[in-house]
Structure 1
Amino acid sequence: MTQTLDPTTARPIGISEAGAQRALSVIGSSGKENAGVRLFIKSGGCSGYQYGMAIDDRELEGDTVLFDRGVKLIVDRMSLPLVQGAEIDYIENMMGGGFTVNNPNATSACGCGHSFRTDGAEAQAGEGSSGCGSH
């Protein structure tokens, strides 16, 4: 069973205006009805954890689902504590554009911006490991 949170009372994650515009565009062209952005964490990367994002039309047991700026955001139970209070953003620069996660729980981050570490949190053993070059 999924739980749906009212973003006015609880905002475990959010999305910026630029992130929302880009996400809605990607979701619209995905062909998936009722899809949203799934933010998840996996162990690996040069700092311990890696962010992952996908367009997903499934809601799994234990997922937290909320809407921000018209975008459905989905986070699984294991990832939620690591991204509590984070904001998904979309940035454009000379190297191109891409989604990024502004995470208040990250105490350090890799230069590539795809991996991070938290105070006292260890990555789960056996879930894979990769360096910055393999995001």
Structure 2
Amino acid sequence: MEQEQVVNITEAAAFHIKDMIKENEEEGSYIRVSVNGGGCSGLSYGMGFDHEKKEGDIEHDYYGIKVLVSSQDAPILKGTNIDYKQSLMGGGFTIDNPNAIASCGCGSSFRTAKNAGSPENC
């Protein structure tokens, strides 16, 4: 049975992630997208390499990138789009989460209607 898509990774983001995998010699690893407590608004995003799939993880493949989201984080991240944008100041990932009802000025933390997290000072 096909699991419902939680996050979407754009082609530009996947291309950059592939470069990161090569640079960090992380071939065969997963990219884990997560939600952590903290930040000005209470929740913050996490994205990094993981070498094992845990029980309850939801796995999807985007352009050859294996992405994991825990079933606990899935409701908070459902519908989130992860892109990579390049500008004169450099490049970076952008995260558009339709569940976020507030975010802080630094753009790295958020809260949802159902989960305010644990706010900290930025």
Q: Give the TM-score range, shorter chain.
A: 0.7 to 0.9
Unaligned runs of 5+ in 2: none
Unaligned runs of 5+ in 1: none
1:58 matches 2:71: no
Identify which of 102, 111, 117 aligns with 1:117.
111
Tell me how many residue pairs correspond in the alignment. Answer: 122
**Normalised by the size of structure 1, how large is the TM-score?**
0.80
Identify which of 85, 88, 95 aligns with 1:94.
88
Residues 60 and 69 of structure 1: CA distance in aligned 2, closer, same or farther (over 3 Å) = same
CA distance in 2, matches of 1:5, 1:117: 29
Does the 8 A contact of 2:42 with 2:111 survive in 1?
yes
CA distance in 1, matches of 2:2, 2:69: 12
CA distance in 2, matches of 1:130, 1:72: 31
Comparing both structures, which one devotes a greater share of its residues to strand? Answer: 2
RMSD: 1.9
Does the 8 A contact of 2:41 with 2:116 survive in 1?
no
1:21 matches 2:19: no
Aligned amino acid, residue 91 of structure 1: K
The secondary structure found in structure 1 opposite 2:13 is: helix
CA distance in 1, matches of 2:77, 2:116: 15
**Normalised by the size of structure 2, how large is the TM-score?**
0.88
CA distance in 2, matches of 1:23, 1:42: 21
1:1-12, aligned counterparts within 5 Å? 5=2, 10-12=4-6
1:68-79, aligned counterparts within 5 Å? 68-79=62-73
CA distance in 2, matches of 1:28, 1:59: 20
Cα deviation, residue 5, structure 1: 4.5
CA distance in 1, matches of 2:89, 2:2: 36
Does the 8 A contact of 1:100 with 1:113 survive in 2?
no
